[in-house]
C-alpha cells in the first residue's frame, strides 16, 4: 500500500473511533490528525470536502465493520431469536468494556448532524438500511412474508439502537440485556 493510502486509512480509522466515543461536534480535526500521525496538509489532500467528508467515510467504515460483526453472530445463532439475544449480549459486553463510551458508531452523529448535513445524513441512513437488511433477510429466511419482515426488522433495529442509548445514559448494560430477553420472547409467536 502506498504511504498516502496508509495515512488516509489511519485518518478514517481514527475518525471512526473518535466519532463513536465523542460525536461529531466533540471531535476536532486537530485530534484526528494528531492521533492518526497525519501531517496537517493531508486532510484536504485526502478529503477535499473537509471534516464532513472524512466523517462520512468513517461512518461508512464503522457501518461495514459492524455489519460484519453482526452477520457473524447472526449466522452462528441457531434461530433469528437467538441471534437478537446474542447481538444484544455482544453490544452489552462491548459497552461495558469501554466504560460506556463505545455505543453505536452511527447514532451520535445521526442525532447531531443528519438533519443539517447532506453527506452525513446519507452515510447514517445507508448504515441503518444495511443493518436492517441483515435482520430482514434472516427473518425472511425463516419464512416470514416480505412486507412483515421489513417492518419487524425496523422494530428490532429500533429496539436495539434505543437500548444502546438507554444503556449509555444509565451507565449500565441492563437495558440492552432486558431488550435481548423480552424482544425475542415477544417475537416467538411470529417466527
Site string for a copy of itself, 66-95 (x = CB under 8 A): ------------------------------
Residue 169: count of CB within 10 angstroms of its CB: 11
Q: Is 166 in the site for a copy of itself (CB under 8 A)?
A: yes
Q: Which residue has the cell 489532500?
A: 45
Strand, helix or coil for residue 180: helix
Distance of closest approach, residue 130 Cβ to a copy of itself, in angstroms: 12
DSSP letter string over 151-186?
Answer: HHHHHHHHHHHHHHHHHHHHT-SHHHHHHHHHHHHH
Q: Which of 39, 68, 111, 142 binds a copy of itself (CB under 8 A)?
A: 111
**Rounded CA gap, 48 and 50, in Å?**
5
- The stretch near a copy of itself (CB under 8 A) out of 43-51, 61-69, 78-86, 149-157 is 149-157
Q: Following DSSP, what letter does each residue of 124-139 receive, concatenated?
A: HHHHHHHHHHHHHHHH
Provide the strand spans (E) within the chain: none
Site stretch for a copy of itself (CB under 8 A), options 41-49, 63-71, 77-85, 120-128: 120-128
Closest contact distance (angstroms) between CB of 165 and a copy of itself is 5
State which residue, 36 or 157, has the beta carbon closest to a copy of itself.
Answer: 157
Residue 36 · residue 11 · CB < 8 Å:
yes
Q: Which three cell numbers stand for residue 48?
A: 477535499
Q: Interface with a copy of itself includes 191 (CB under 8 A)?
A: no
> Which residues contact a copy of itself by CB under 8 A?
21-26, 99-101, 103-104, 106-108, 110-112, 114-116, 121, 124-125, 127-128, 151-152, 154-155, 157-166, 168-171, 175, 178-179, 181-183, 186-187, 189-190
Amino acid at each position: 500500500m502506498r504511504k498516502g493510502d496508509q495515512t488516509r486509512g489511519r485518518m478514517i480509522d481514527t475518525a471512526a473511533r473518535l466519532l463513536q466515543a465523542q460525536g461529531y461536534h466533540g471531535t476536532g480535526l486537530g485530534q484526528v490528525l494528531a492521533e492518526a500521525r497525519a501531517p496537517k496538509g493531508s486532510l484536504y489532500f485526502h478529503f477535499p470536502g473537509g471534516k464532513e467528508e472524512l466523517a462520512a467515510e468513517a461512518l461508512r467504515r464503522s457501518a461495514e465493520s459492524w455489519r460484519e460483526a453482526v452477520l457473524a453472530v447472526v449466522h452462528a445463532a441457531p434461530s433469528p431469536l437467538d441471534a437478537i439475544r446474542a447481538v444484544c449480549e455482544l453490544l452489552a459486553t462491548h459497552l461495558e468494556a469501554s466504560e460506556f463510551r463505545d455505543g453505536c458508531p452511527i447514532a451520535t452523529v445521526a442525532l447531531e448532524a443528519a438533519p443539517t448535513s447532506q453527506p452525513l445524513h446519507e452515510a447514517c441512513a445507508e448504515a441503518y438500511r444495511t443493518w436492517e437488511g441483515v435482520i430482514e433477510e434472516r427473518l425472511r429466511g425463516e419464512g416470514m412474508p416480505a412486507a412483515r419482515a421489513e417492518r419487524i426488522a425496523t422494530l428490532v433495529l429500533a429496539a436495539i439502537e434505543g437500548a444502546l442509548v438507554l444503556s449509555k445514559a444509565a451507565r449500565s448494560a441492563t437495558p440492552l440485556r432486558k431488550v435481548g430477553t423480552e424482544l425475542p420472547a415477544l417475537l416467538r409467536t411470529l417466527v
